[in-house]
């Protein structure tokens, strides 16, 4: 059976993903900066699904540690899901470069740092799947969150290039673009229920897209059409909208 490494395992989407893959019999490595917060999750998943769950300390911003983190994993994964992310505060990021840098480094630099290692390993083995959780926010920059959006746009382009490179080695690269998801990240926001997903819906969509060998997944499905419209609004109109 397969083994999935989930990076950023304290995230709500990551935890739903852990349950979804456990249901299919995958063994799991949960990687996060505070693994002591994962004890309950580990016992629950282990009892329910009788699979092997390992924990590993991982900080996306500690770039220097990424090579030893990956090389020293007790079990090698064949699926890696890069789930960690940081929304931050757009307003502070406009005046405080430290906040802007944390947004960029978490969503882009940290992801590149760890996925470069995974990509080289999977390319050598000529197998594996890399799942990157980007965002619809990366499809077009908006005044209210363009720092986060631009970091996700960079991540989306990175994943696209990685897919282009790794296809010939038989490695799947799946770009996931969630719209609104009800999680810790969005708990302070008022989200329209009809187009807002639960972490479980997102996890189910990801699992199915991974199995189907897909390249890009919008979740929930209607976001593909919403973003098609948003991308096609002419710039002279778009720049005047309060988005």
Chain residues in the site for ligand NAP (CB under 6 A): 8, 10-13, 32-34, 58-61, 83-86, 106, 133, 135, 178, 180-181, 183-186
Residue 14 CB, shortest distance to ligand NAP, in Å, is 6
User: Closer CB to ligand NAP, residue 17 or residue 51?
Assistant: 17
Pairing of β 53-57 and β 172-178:
unpaired
**Would you call 201 helix, strand, or coil by DSSP?**
helix
Q: Which residue is nearest to ligand NAP (CB)?
A: 85
Q: What is the DSSP letter of 81?
A: E
State the catalytic residue, choosing from 21, 26, 49, 148. 148
Instruction: Name residues whose C-beta falls within 8 Å of residue 39's C-beta, 6 or more positions apart in sequence.
Output: none
Residue 226 CB, shortest distance to ligand NAP, in Å, is 13
How far apart (Å, rounded) are the C-alpha atoms in residues 30 and 109?
21
**Would you call 32 helix, strand, or coil by DSSP?**
strand
Q: Which helix (H) or strand (E) holds 46?
A: helix 39-49
User: Closer CB to ligand NAP, residue 101 or residue 169?
Assistant: 101
**Would you call 62 helix, strand, or coil by DSSP?**
coil
User: Closer CB to ligand NAP, residue 166 or residue 176?
Assistant: 176
Residue 27 CB, shortest distance to ligand NAP, in Å, is 21
Is residue 218 part of the annotated active site? The answer reads no
Structure tokens at 138: 């990366």
Is residue 83 within 8 Å of residue 106, measured between CB atoms? no
Is residue 23 within 8 Å of residue 96, measured between CB atoms? no
Residue 124 CB, shortest distance to ligand NAP, in Å, is 26
User: Closer CB to ligand NAP, residue 122 or residue 155?
Assistant: 155
Active site residues: 148
């Amino acid at each position: 059976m397969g083994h999935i490494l989930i990076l950023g395992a304290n995230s709500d989407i990551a935890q739903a993903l852990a349950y979804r893959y456990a249901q299919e019999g995958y063994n799991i490595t949960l990687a996060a900066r505070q693994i002591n917060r994962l004890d309950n999750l580990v016992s629950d998943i282990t009892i329910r699904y009788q699979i092997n769950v390992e924990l590993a300390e991982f900080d996306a911003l500690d770039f220097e540690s990424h090579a030893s983190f990956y090389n020293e994993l007790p079990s090698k994964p064949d699926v890696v899901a890069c789930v960690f992310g940081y929304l931050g505060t757009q307003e502070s990021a406009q005046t405080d470069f430290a906040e802007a840098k944390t947004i960029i480094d978490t969503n882009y630099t940290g992801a590149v740092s760890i996925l470069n290692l995974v990509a080289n390993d999977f390319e050598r083995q000529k197998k594996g799947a890399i799942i990157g959780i980007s965002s619809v926010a990366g499809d077009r920059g908006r005044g209210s969150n363009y720092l986060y959006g631009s970091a996700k746009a960079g991540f989306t382009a990175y994943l696209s290039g990685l897919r282009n490179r790794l296809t010939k080695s038989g490695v799947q690269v799946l770009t996931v673009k969630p719209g609104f998801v009800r999680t810790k990240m969005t708990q302070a926001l008022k989200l329209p229920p009809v187009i807002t997903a639960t972490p479980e819906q997102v996890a189910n969509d990801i699992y199915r897209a991974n199995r189907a060998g897909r390249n890009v997944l919008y979740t929930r499905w209607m976001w593909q059409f919403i973003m098609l419209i948003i991308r096609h609004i002419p710039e002279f109109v778009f720049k005047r909208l309060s988005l």
